[in-house]
Amino acid sequence: MNTIKATNILIPKGCDHKKWSVVACDQFTSERGYWKKLEDFVGDAPSTLKLVFPEVYLEDDDKRERIENINATMNEYLTGGVFRTLENSCVVMKRTTASGVSRLGVVCAVDLEDYCFTHPSHAFIRSTEGVVLDRIPPRLAIRENAPLELPHIMLLIDDRKKSVVEGLWARREGLEKIYDFDLNMGGGHLEGYRIDANEVAKEFEKYYQSVQNLYGQESNDFIFAVGDGNHSLATAQAHWNRIKQGLTDAQKAVHPARFALCEIENLHDDGIVFEPIHRFVFGVGDDFCEYLASNLHGTQSVKVFSKDGESEIFVDDNGAKAIKDIQGAIDDYLKSHAECKVDYIHGIEHLQSVAKENDGVAIVMPKIKKEELFGYVLENGTLCRKAFSMGEAEEKRYYFEAKLIK
């Protein structure tokens, strides 16, 4: 397995890390106030906020201008000495949330040729949720002329012995510390150390050899499950598929767009909690609640609410199936109600905030068990889109590291 690739990682130098690092762009997608407050906090300081496209703005009229500004800022940072290069490196890191819960990760580059989002598959990296192809073009437009990428992709390994990520973290005393700071907007704390990429690749190769019979098969090639950033990884692959058409085999082997920066975490880390991603359907009312009640069946109670009050619907006891059924019902309803739309909200408090400020119906989604993830994907393929979240919105990955893709 050669999925982990040595690469040069870019980190900021001489700037305020608390202003540099911001939460993943696919969070707070119905809360412009969050992003305005963050913009005010960052001000004129160098920041990843100026290098990413918060998805809350995806449908705005100034999208093209925003993308051009992002690309211009990337080039400005590259030529203006904002970055320091860590050659042939990975970063072993610890994220502590505001609640005090911590999780470990390794930031490294993976080969997009080893990724697949369709089922069945024999790829080393597999999607855990259905990829909506219509969501790729707008994200591809953002990446098209960008010289850099910043990852909020998080891959999971089923390392029940806690040998890989935890083992690399245990080596930190002999490594160079590259960051240790409090995150903005209630994100907690981030601590990271540079480690040689070849050391990391060797540990993952050992892990690969050790899990060949993990799922009762003669061999196992399902090593990484995409825990977060399914559509970001699919977009990175779509971008690479475009680029490689005009390259020789020798060029394909080393082109920077072939390798995507991501964070790898252990599914069995106590700090990783699968949270539901709730739904808010804009422009609907009591008739939609009645529609859900008549089309969904089971014994598990799910709360739905709006400005006018709350009620409950009943769904399947199996979390994965219940989520799939609810999403299917929403999709079917929207087909005949084009004026309505759905958004995916992380956290009950944020769902309540959206429901308070908008007309529509909120659905408090059921949970799935993280221990069932790899087995479910192996047997059934992907979960439906937005089936789970690795933590609440403030607990999601914050950008820090970057990598050239040109």
Total domains in the fold of the chain: 2
pTM, rounded to two decimals: 0.89
Residue 71 placed within a domain: yes
Mark whether 177 and 247 lie in a shared domain: yes
- Structural domain harbouring 340: 277-366
- The four Cα atoms 290, 291, 297, 301 give a dihedral, to 10 degrees, of -50
Mark whether 299 and 238 lie in a shared domain: no
Mark whether 122 and 236 lie in a shared domain: yes
Residue 377 placed within a domain: no
Span 280-302, mean pLDDT? 96
User: Per-residue confidence at 46, pLDDT binned at 50, 70, 90?
Assistant: very high
Mark whether 76 and 9 lie in a shared domain: yes
Question: What tokens appear for 2 in the block?
Answer: 């050669």
Question: What tokens appear for 281 in the block?
Answer: 């359907």
Q: Is residue 381 predicted with pLDDT exceeding 90?
A: no
Mark whether 195 and 320 lie in a shared domain: no
Mark whether 281 and 190 lie in a shared domain: no
Mark whether 310 and 267 lie in a shared domain: no
Bridge partners (DSSP) of residue 84 are 11
Q: What is the pLDDT of residue 208?
A: 95
User: Per-residue confidence at 78, pLDDT binned at 50, 70, 90?
Assistant: very high
Residue 231 placed within a domain: yes
What confidence tens digit (pLDDT) does each residue in 201-218 have?
Answer: 999 999 999 998 888 776
What confidence tens digit (pLDDT) does each residue in 315-363 have?
Answer: 999 898 999 999 999 999 999 999 999 999 989 999 999 999 999 999 9
Mark whether 29 and 172 lie in a shared domain: yes
What confidence tens digit (pLDDT) does each residue in 361-380 have?
Answer: 999 999 998 998 998 888 88
Amino acid code (one letter) for 210: S
The candidate with the shortest Cα–Cα distance to 117, out of 126, 108, 109, is: 126
Other CB atoms closer than 10 Å to residue 103's CB: what's the count? 22
What confidence tens digit (pLDDT) does each residue in 240-261 have?
Answer: 999 999 899 999 999 999 999 9
- The mean pLDDT value of the chain amounts to 95
What confidence tens digit (pLDDT) does each residue in 276-290 have?
Answer: 999 999 999 999 999
